[in-house]
Amino acid sequence: MSGLADVLARLDERAEDSLSELIEFASIPSVSAQPAHKPDMERAAGWLSDRLKRAGLTTVELWPTAGHVAVYAEYLDSGENAPTLLVYGHYDVQPPDPLEKWHTPPFTPTVNGERIYGRGVSDDKGPLLLTVQVVDAYLSALGQLPLNLKFLFEGEEEVGSAHLNELVAQNAQRLKADFVLSADGGMWSAETPSLTVSARGLAALELTVRGPAKDLHSGRHGGSVHNPLHALASLIAGLHDEAGRVTVPGFYDGVSELTSQQRGDIASLPFNDDAYLTQTGAPAVYGEAGYSTLERQWHRPTLEVNGLWGGYTGEGSKTVLPGEAHAKITCRLVPGQEPERIAELLRGHLEDKLPPGVTLEIHPSDHGARAYRLPADHPGAAVAREVLAELYGVAPLDVGMGGSIPVLETFQSVLGLDTVFFSFAVGDEDIHAPNEFFRIPRLYEGQRAWAQFWWRLGEKHT
Amino acid sequence: MSGLADVLARLDERAEDSLSELIEFASIPSVSAQPAHKPDMERAAGWLSDRLKRAGLTTVELWPTAGHVAVYAEYLDSGENAPTLLVYGHYDVQPPDPLEKWHTPPFTPTVNGERIYGRGVSDDKGPLLLTVQVVDAYLSALGQLPLNLKFLFEGEEEVGSAHLNELVAQNAQRLKADFVLSADGGMWSAETPSLTVSARGLAALELTVRGPAKDLHSGRHGGSVHNPLHALASLIAGLHDEAGRVTVPGFYDGVSELTSQQRGDIASLPFNDDAYLTQTGAPAVYGEAGYSTLERQWHRPTLEVNGLWGGYTGEGSKTVLPGEAHAKITCRLVPGQEPERIAELLRGHLEDKLPPGVTLEIHPSDHGARAYRLPADHPGAAVAREVLAELYGVAPLDVGMGGSIPVLETFQSVLGLDTVFFSFAVGDEDIHAPNEFFRIPRLYEGQRAWAQFWWRLGEKHT
């Protein structure tokens, strides 16, 4: 076996190809939430599977689920005594709505300076694809990899990884590994390397408030039957108190207060609200009283309305008293909160608080995940810290993650594996929003980092 | 001059043509609220103008406005001593949304038994068109009309008649008449003839609540900046108290309490809440405490949200914390309330109650109208009562109207004219909602009634 330098040189030679491949991959509108994109989902899985084969992997499989297919590949030639990593990522992307806010078409990935714009380039196609490109560089430069690798790329992350639990359970033997190295996640800022050591969980539901059986003329009928939009607004408004706390009884049961160690660590991070407001464009920070912004994002549970609609929403005016009003709600959870229980508490509370004159229908969601914390002394975290320190010349920060990766819970509960986040996406890249972008230098930094991570982990073994 | 019987016979002969013409007229999607339909608005105005000419009227004019064109026609051959009526109607229609709730295409008028379905057939194309058909019958059967007639058919009723005030003022001399006979309005029930003696006024505004400059990931950012949907829900929820009263300070200033006479008259009407709930499909009546359903609809002001939206409203799930949330609001007014003042009070109240962490933008509307009451002893009302009593064999009821016709205020304030509603639409015909319909027998009853109304008013003069 020749050296890591050869692998890195090979990656350098192929820099342009690496970017072209990302453009090709991100051109496929693999929107898992929308049934119309089912064929695109299949196309994206096929593309990824072909790319894994071209990288030199001989075992590449499509694993069907009741939802979208997962792509699996493995390299076990390093033998039983070598470390084995399970690499995780997802090839599905968020819906591109609202389309009119994109400056370039979401599925025509567009390079502008050091950025590439397009739906999914940061979450998670860029970070995922670079791991495959590193395999390719190893196998073409050295003919082998320094450890055993298993790849599991799912197609349902953006819709809650509903079928992955089952799939992982069915394939538990084949998926055995020392730990999971996740290409999904994202770093905290573009300036400072970071290692994500926690993620919030998720509970979701959708509700419909119904009044009259059909839309009525708001002049003729206004004031004599309850308007579902008023009733829904009142339900939603009642979910938070004036201190920004969620009012659902039992919501905070089991949630631990932050330790003074945690508060101290967070306070010492290079973060300030002014910069955060500049980044987000929000006029002020706002949230649960008694917590700082990062404490709120990483350690406190929340309830957010993701969508609310009813009545006439088009141009001009339509004097209608609508028959229905709708809302989509998700809660972000912290350790101690069970997704199913939170959804049940929320359902019960909404039913209790339903105003008169309307009915309520609650649609449960299979979109749920427990919160996750990486053990402080995890050996994979140690390697990640070394690689990042070397690459960026500064020790990485330990940070939390406000978002959720349901599969973390699956890997923990079904396989007993911890997950080390090793993504080179950055948290400001407008994922889940218009004009999502990925920093092109991060594609190359990510490749180097993954190549080094594998090399070091292999070295520790030999 | 031969007799009224000849006119009625002519209308009978042409019954099929009358319906075919309505189908043709209602096929034109003259949606005044949507700029994309501007050419259809022009097409509808042209169609109507042609129809008036075919009826035998020689003075037919298109009156441009800064918005949509109005159609004017006149017949003054009965001489200066004959009564002169100004006939009002509108050829524009509501947007057809939500399209998916229509059982037949909104602009393919479809006959099913005694009903014709289509956007605008009841509001106001059927009731308007029949007046032109009566002119045609008179002129072809008798060669003359028993009185002078002026027709003003506008194209902006569904968007608040914004430019009609100006147009009427500019043409005040030509529009002089004894009173207005309105083809818009609608009867109270299909079983009992009624005469509408009041209409509520209107004040409208649209608001946008802004938080972050762009949509954010609700996992990453949830709980640390204010969600505009939460802020909007809280604003909307705060607009009514638990007794169903509008909380805007000053909203009820100048509003008279119902007299015991009014309450008694309403209580004696053949109306009950159970039948009303069956008709609307609402689970319960709901409104300002201390008033019955008809009292609420006819004599109490209201505030209704007509549309509310923000965030992800598509299929599946998208964990977004949206940058904006929107609402469209209209108030229905009673005598004593000025539309501009109510809009100002509402604006001030919303600004006062704005939660922290978001900004508010209020878009004023030129969609405003004062409430209207017809004098109890109006001579046009007397003729209408006689005609209706003869046609239906029972004395008509005096009823109120929850909706608004801004032009009433224009006719009153600019021309000093009262308006007698003489429409043969019925209040349950799903105007402003999917599956709007018009009762075909009402087309023919309306023709007879208008023919008789004109005859009687002419007779009173001779």
Residue B462 has pLDDT above 70, yes or no: no
Q: Do A318 and B306 touch (CB under 8 A)?
A: yes
- For residue B379, the domain's CATH number is 3.40.630.10
pLDDT in tens, B123-146: 999 999 999 999 999 999 999 999
Residue with tokens 């339903």: A354
Say yes or no: A186 and A95 in one domain: yes
Q: Which of B295, B317, B329 to substitute to test the interface with A, most A CBs within 10 Å?
A: B317
Residue B191 has pLDDT above 90, yes or no: no
Q: Do A286 and B365 touch (CB under 8 A)?
A: no
Tell me what pLDDT residue B419 has.
95
Q: Which residues of A405-416 are buried (b: 16+ CB within 10 A; e: fewer)?
A: bbbbbbbbebbe
Specify whether the CB–CB gap between A212 and B281 falls below 8 A.
Answer: yes
Mean pLDDT of A394-419: 88
List B404's β-bridge partners, or say none: none
Say yes or no: B179 and B225 in one domain: no
- Partners of A315 on chain B (C-beta within 8 Å) are 33-35
Q: Residue B74's domain spans which residues? A: 4-199+371-461
Q: Which residue of A has its CA nearest to B355?
A: A242
Q: Give the CA-trace dihedral at A313, A315, A320, A324, to 10 degrees.
A: -10
pLDDT in tens, A192-203: 899 988 889 999
From B204, B326, B358, residue closest to A317, measured CB to CB = B204
Mean pLDDT of A436-462: 93
What letter represents residue A49's amino acid? S
The 10 Å Cβ neighbour count of residue A259 is 10
User: What is the rounded distance in angstroms from the CA atom of residue A293 to the CA atom of residue B220?
Assistant: 11
Mean pLDDT of A361-368: 84
Residue B436 in any domain: the answer is: yes
User: What is the rounded distance in angstroms from the CA atom of residue B409 to the CA atom of residue B180?
Assistant: 12
pLDDT in tens, A284-295: 999 999 999 999
DSSP collapsed to 3 states, chain A: CCCHHHHHHHHHHCHHHHHHHHHHHHCCCCECCCHHHHHHHHHHHHHHHHHHHHCCCCEEEEECCCCCCEEEEEECCCCCCCCEEEEEEECCECCCCCHHHCCCCCCCCEEECCEEECCCHHHHHHHHHHHHHHHHHHHHHHCCCCCEEEEEEECCHHHCCCCHHHHHHHCCCCCCCCEEEECCCCECCCCCCEEECEECEEEEEEEEEECCCCCEEHHHHECCECCHHHHHHHHHHCCECCCCCECCCCCCCCCCCCCHHHHHHHHCCCCCHHHHHHHHCCCCECCCCCCCHHHHHHHCCEEEEEEEEEECCCCCCCCEECCEEEEEEEEEECCCCCHHHHHHHHHHHHHHHCCCCCEEEEEECCCCECCEECCCCCHHHHHHHHHHHHHHCCCCEEECCCCCCHHHHHHHHHHCCCEEECCCCECCCCCCCCCCEEEHHHHHHHHHHHHHHHHHHHHHHC
Chain A: give the shortest CA distance to residue B356, in Å.
7
The set of residues, in sequence order, having a beta carbon less than 8 Å from that of B65 and lying 6+ positions away, is: B156, B163, B164, B166, B167
- Partners of B368 on chain A (C-beta within 8 Å) are none
pLDDT in tens, A138-169: 999 999 999 999 999 999 999 888 899 999 99
Given pLDDT bands bounded at 50, 70 and 90, which one contains residue B2?
low
Tell me what pLDDT residue B270 has.
86
* Dihedral sign for Cα atoms in the order A136, A138, A139, A140: positive
Please choose, from the candidates A332, A82, A80, the residue with its C-alpha nearest in 3D space to the C-alpha of residue A204: A332
Residue A43 in any domain: the answer is: yes
Identify the domain boundary among A317, A334, A364: A364
Residue B195 in any domain: the answer is: yes
Residue B96, Cα to own-chain centre: how many angstroms? 15
- Partners of A365 on chain B (C-beta within 8 Å) are 317
Q: Which residue of B has its CA nearest to A311?
A: B307
User: What is the rounded distance in angstroms from the CA atom of residue B229 to the CA atom of residue B252?
Assistant: 28
Q: Do A286 and B224 touch (CB under 8 A)?
A: yes
Q: Could you give the percent of chain B with pLDDT greater than 70? A: 99
- Partners of A94 on chain B (C-beta within 8 Å) are 318
Residue B140 corresponds to which tokens in the numbers above?
């072809």
Say yes or no: A178 and A246 in one domain: no
Q: Do A432 and B212 touch (CB under 8 A)?
A: no
Say yes or no: B163 and B33 in one domain: yes
pLDDT in tens, B81-125: 999 999 999 999 999 999 999 999 999 999 999 999 999 999 999
User: What is the rounded distance in angstroms from the CA atom of residue B308 to the CA atom of residue A311?
Assistant: 7
Residue A17 corresponds to which tokens in the numbers above?
């190809």
List B74's β-bridge partners, or say none: B59, B150
Tell me what pLDDT residue A1 has.
45
Residue A245 in any domain: the answer is: yes
Q: Which residues of B58-77 are buried (b: 16+ CB within 10 A; e: fewer)?
A: eebeebebebbbbbbbbbee
Tell me what pLDDT residue A251 has.
98
Please choose, from the candidates A22, A178, A204, the residue with its C-alpha nearest in 3D space to the C-alpha of residue A86: A178
Q: Which of A304, A342, A361, A421 to substitute to test the interface with B, most B CBs within 10 Å?
A: A304
Q: Do A305 and B230 touch (CB under 8 A)?
A: yes
Residue A274 corresponds to which tokens in the numbers above?
């002014």
pLDDT in tens, A78-130: 999 999 999 999 999 999 999 999 999 999 999 999 999 999 999 999 999 99
User: What is the rounded distance in angstroms from the CA atom of residue A65 to the CA atom of residue B453?
Assistant: 72
**Of the candidate ranges A178-192, A207-221, B205-219, the one whose mean pLDDT is the lowest:** A178-192
pLDDT in tens, B274-333: 999 999 999 999 999 999 999 999 999 999 999 999 999 998 888 999 999 999 999 999
Q: Reading across the β-sheet that carries A437-439, which strands appear in turn?
A: A110-112, A115-117, A437-439
Residue with tokens 């008023």: A230
What letter represents residue B300's amino acid? R
Residue B76 has pLDDT above 70, yes or no: yes
Q: How many residues does chain B have?
A: 462
Q: Do B316 and A33 touch (CB under 8 A)?
A: yes
- For residue A343, the domain's CATH number is 3.30.70.360
What letter represents residue A373's amino acid? R
Say yes or no: A429 and A355 in one domain: no
Residue B291 in any domain: the answer is: no
Mean pLDDT of B10-37: 97
User: What is the rounded distance in angstroms from the CA atom of residue B213 to the CA atom of residue B223?
Assistant: 16
Chain B: give the shortest CA distance to residue A372, in Å.
14
ipTM above 0.85, yes or no: no
From B94, B101, B318, residue closest to A33, measured CB to CB = B318
Q: Which residue has the higher pLDDT, B159 or B19?
A: B19
Please choose, from the candidates A450, A442, A444, A459, the residue with its C-alpha nearest in 3D space to the C-alpha of residue A384: A450
Specify whether the CB–CB gap between A84 and A98 falls below 8 A.
Answer: no
Identify the domain boundary among B316, B337, B364: B364
Q: Which of A196, A317, A361, A430 to substitute to test the interface with B, most B CBs within 10 Å?
A: A317
Given pLDDT bands bounded at 50, 70 and 90, which one contains residue A404?
confident
Residue with tokens 């997962």: A70
Chain B: give the shortest CA distance to residue A129, in Å.
22
Residue B339 has pLDDT above 70, yes or no: yes
Say yes or no: B51 and B186 in one domain: yes
Mean pLDDT of B389-397: 93
DSSP collapsed to 3 states, A310-372: EECCCCCCCCEECCEEEEEEEEEECCCCCHHHHHHHHHHHHHHHCCCCCEEEEEECCCCECCE
Tell me what pLDDT residue B461 has.
62
Residue with tokens 């342009």: A16
Omega of the bond leading into B249 within 30 degrees of 0 (cis): no
User: What is the rounded distance in angstroms from the CA atom of residue B129 to the CA atom of residue B111?
Assistant: 17
Chain A: give the shortest CA distance to residue B294, in Å.
8
Say yes or no: A347 and A384 in one domain: no
Say yes or no: A96 and A17 in one domain: yes
Residue A292 in any domain: the answer is: no
- Partners of B332 on chain A (C-beta within 8 Å) are 218-219, 222-223
Say yes or no: A77 and A25 in one domain: yes
Q: At what angle do helices A379-392 and A440-461 cross, to 10 degrees?
A: 130
- Partners of A433 on chain B (C-beta within 8 Å) are 214-217, 320
The set of residues, in sequence order, having a beta carbon less than 8 Å from that of A405 and lying 6+ positions away, is: A157, A182, A184, A185, A199, A369, A372, A419
User: What is the rounded distance in angstroms from the CA atom of residue B65 to the CA atom of residue B154?
Assistant: 10
Specify whether the CB–CB gap between B145 and B454 falls below 8 A.
Answer: yes
Q: Which residue of A has its CA nearest to B93?
A: A318
Residue with tokens 């539901």: A205
pTM: 0.78
Identify the domain boundary among A340, A364, A388: A364
- Partners of B353 on chain A (C-beta within 8 Å) are none
Q: At what angle do helices B440-461 and B379-392 cross, to 10 degrees?
A: 130
Number of Cα atoms under 13 Å in the Cβ half of residue A99: 4
Say yes or no: B41 and B111 in one domain: yes
- Partners of A232 on chain B (C-beta within 8 Å) are 233, 308
Residue A23 in any domain: the answer is: yes
Please choose, from the candidates A443, A446, A430, the residue with its C-alpha nearest in 3D space to the C-alpha of residue A94: A430
Say yes or no: A135 and A82 in one domain: yes
Count of structural domains, chain B: 2
pLDDT in tens, B344-383: 999 999 999 999 999 999 998 877 888 988 988 899 999 9
From A223, A225, A316, residue closest to B300, measured CB to CB = A223
Residue B224 has pLDDT above 70, yes or no: yes
- Partners of B232 on chain A (C-beta within 8 Å) are 233, 308
Residue A296 in any domain: the answer is: no
Given pLDDT bands bounded at 50, 70 and 90, which one contains residue A462?
low
List B112's β-bridge partners, or say none: B115
pLDDT in tens, B168-190: 999 999 999 999 999 998 888 88
Say yes or no: A172 and A195 in one domain: yes
* Average of per-residue pLDDT values in chain A: 94
* Dihedral sign for Cα atoms in the order B236, B302, B168, B152: positive
